Amino acid sequence: MVETQEEENVYNWDVMEIGHTATPLTVEVTKERIANYAKSVRDDNPIFFDEAAAKAAGFDGIVAPPTMLYVYSPMRRAEIMNGLGYVSPEQSKEARSTPFAGTEVMFQGVPVLAGDTITSQPAVDRKWESSSGNRFVSFRIIATNQRGEKVVEYLYNVIWEYAQGQKSRNG
């Protein structure tokens, strides 16, 4: 197992450093993308589809659902690892998952509207081990719009490794 990981150069706990990052990503937030996102989470609020409804709600145009942040400013953990010359645990021959554990979102009062262009960059923010031995990693993503205004900053936490013999998500 260790030899396989070394041959593959799998990103691991020991090489992980705070600040490891990927290149910035720019995404155009179109009406179509907003509609697709809203449909994919089955949220039929008309402000995500209809300009008049959005304006009646106080926006200048069709607005993105708040949690579309995970689409227009994605966490991109594999790209961080690939950019450093590693494969992610999910990509390895001995594939294993690093499941979602939680998130912390700080909106900035700047709604994302159709036509906006969002640039984001993720980075390893923190790694820690719980009292039960599970290992966690937190990625911080900061997203700005075409005017340079920060629209959202969020943390995306994953369970990096379970303590031996433990399968629960609880830390």
Site residues (vs another protein, CB under 8 A): 27, 33, 36-37, 39-43, 45, 47, 57-59, 63, 65-67, 70-71, 74, 78-79, 82, 87-88, 90-92, 95-97, 99-111, 162, 167, 169-170
- Distance between CA atoms of 138 and 158, rounded to whole angstroms? 6
Nearest approach, Cβ of residue 151 and another protein (Å): 9
Query: Rounded to an integer, what distance in angstroms lies between the CA atom of residue 171 and that of residue 131?
Result: 8
Q: Shortest gap between Cβ of 2 and another protein (angstroms)?
A: 19
Residue (61 or 65) nearer to another protein, CB: 65
HSE-up of 43 (CA within 13 Å, CB side)? 16
Q: How far is the CB of 154 from another protein (least distance, A)?
A: 9
Closer CB to another protein, residue 49 or residue 107? 107
* Burial of 94 (C-beta count, 10 Å sphere; 0-12/13-18/19+): exposed
**For another protein, which is the closer residue by CB, 113 or 123?**
113
Between 124 and 154, whose beta carbon lies closer to another protein? 154
Nearer to another protein, 18 or 95 (CB): 95
The C-alpha angle 16, 21, 22, rounded to 5 degrees, equals 130
Kindly state the smallest distance separating residue 100's Cβ from another protein, in Å. Answer: 3
Least distance from another protein to the Cβ atom of residue 147, Å: 16
Integer Cα distance of 77 and 123 in angstroms: 8
Provide the phi-psi class of 19: left if phi over 0, else alpha when psi is between -120 and 50, else beta.
Answer: left
